[in-house]
Each structure stands twice: as C-alpha cells, then as structure tokens.
Amino acid sequence: MTARANHEIEISDVEYLRHGDKPLLARLFRPRGTGPFPIIVEIHGGAWCLMDRTHDKIVNEALARSGVVVVALDFRMPPDAKYPGSMIDINFGIRWAKSRAAELNGSAERLGLMGSSSGGHQAMLAAMRPRDPRYASLPLPEGPQLDATVRCVVMLWPVIDPLGRYRYAKELKASGKPYPELVDLVLPLHDKYWKDEAEMAEGNPTMALERGERAETPPVLCVQGERDIAHPRPHLDRFISGYRKIGGMIDLAMYPDVAEGFIVRKPEAPASRAALDRIIDFVHTQLS
C-alpha cells in the first residue's frame, strides 16, 4: 500500500455542458493542498437511465482525500437521449476536464476514468474509443487540440457485455419465478437506452474485442463482489481474456461474500475498505 495523504476537500458543482436549455453538471471533489493533483473523471451507474453525479460519493470522496481531483459527471439519459448520447457527453466531459485542469489544481496529463455498473461499461467504452467520431462530435472551443484519451480506468462491477446481460436477464425471466428482482428492473432500462440488440452488440467492449476492433488499452482495475448476480462473471472473464490478448493490462480485484454495489451500499464493511484502498493505490500508481 502506498503512503496515504489525508487532504481536506472542497465539493462543488459546475455546469460543464448544455444541450438547449438543459445544463449538465459535474460535481467536483477537490483536495486542498499543493498540486497539481491527478484527475479522475467519474461515471455513475444506474442501468444507463437512473442515478446522478452524487451516487458514488463514497468512492469519490475517498479518492479526493487521498489527493485526486474527481470530476463526477451528469450526462444525458433516456428520455433525453439514448445511446450514444451519454457517450458524447462523457467524451466531451473528459476533454473539458483536461481543458480546466489548471483551475482545478489538476494535471491534464495524469487523467483517468472510473465508472460503476453501467458507468463502468461507459468508462471502458470511452477509454477504448477516445476518438470515435460519434462520441467526439461535440467541439470544445477552448481546447480543440484535446482528445479523450485516458491513462487508466477503474471499473466497479461493470456491465461489460450489455447484450450478454440483457439475454441473461431475459433467460432468468423466461425460467419463471422466483427470479432475482434485478430482472424486472434492468430489462426495461436496457430497452430504454438501447435501440435493439444490434446496438447492444455495437456499443459493447467485450464484443468489440472479439470482433478485432482496434482499441486503446490503458491499464484497468476491475472491482467486483463474488456474490454479484447483476454482472455475470463469465462476461467479465471474456473481457479480461480479450483485453490481455491485445496487450492490455487488467487487474481483477474480487471480494468474497459481497454483491453488486457493495462499496456504496456498505462502505464500512471490511471488503469495502479493502476495495477503496485497492482503488486508491491503483489510481496513484497509474497517475503518478
């Protein structure tokens, strides 16, 4: 474990993007002290349709106290926009954070991504496709030279194969009750965000690797609980295999006796404290 700072932090909101009359906010978690600090752009979960920038505050505050500027993004969700609307906002948000690094007391050259659940999917997809012309379609006048490449990615229980998760949930539902409550939650949200199964296959980090798509491969840490039924382990194993096959470095941190969202749901649990330490060490190592 690396030596750990314990900074006081400042938390504030700022508008980073606007679509028509609708602002999108970023919640900033800024450590006090001598910078510049590394930056993490954070993408919340919620099956692409729920939650907001405040959802993962447990992780964001812990990172900030360790000496990391965290920029937690809101982004368009259904009904305002389906895929790839959120990816456009996230790509812009990464470039925006780089353009504002100096005033955030951060370093544009030491910037990574973090996301939970569907946010883990979006973070990984954004990192693999930083120059996708669809995702990068919004100009940033104050930083036209900037791109959305990142130095590392932290995925917390990601939906790493959206099509696989959709079919998994449909199979559980077809088998009849009792089935997990998550089935009736996630199926309609998949349908709200994605147009169809073909789109779930296209915007899919696991299947992109299996198709042989060219991708950026920043170092990755994936955190997951062994009792997680919302994010099937076989999907993650396929992604890890494919990522390593093309030369990507990925660490898997699995924690026994905990399920999806364990850090946020039970932050004082030993597994949560251990996972937070692992995340902080990884971020500081990769963004040193």
Distance, in Å, from the CA atom of 203 to the CA atom of 225, rounded to the nearest integer, reads: 24
Q: What is the per-residue pLDDT for 227? A: 96
Low-confidence stretches of the chain (pLDDT beneath 50): 1-2
**Any idea what the CATH number is for the domain that residue 159 is in?**
3.40.50.1820
201 backbone φψ class: left, alpha, beta (φ>0; ψ -120 to 50): alpha
| Pairwise CA distance, residues 68 & 66, whole Å | 6
- Whether 1 maps to a domain, the answer reads no
Provide the pLDDT for residue 5.
81
Say if 241 falls within a structural domain: yes
180-212: per-residue pLDDT in tens?
999 999 999 999 999 999 999 999 999 999 999
In a domain, 3, yes or no: no
In terms of residue numbers, what domain contains 107? Answer: 9-286
- Look at residue 1 in the predicted model and tell me its pLDDT: 44
What is the token pair recorded at 145?
A: 């030279």
pLDDT tens-digit series, residues 212-230 = 999 999 999 999 999 999 9
Q: What is the pLDDT of residue 3?
A: 52
Instruction: Round to whole Å and give the CA distance between 71 and 49.
Output: 20
Q: Which burial class, exposed, middle or buried, applies to 144 when counting CB atoms under 10 A from its CB (0-12, 13-18, 19+)?
A: exposed
The total of structural domains in the chain comes to 1
Residue 125 lies in a domain: yes
Domain assignment present for 4: no
What's this model's pTM, rounded to 2 decimal places?
0.97
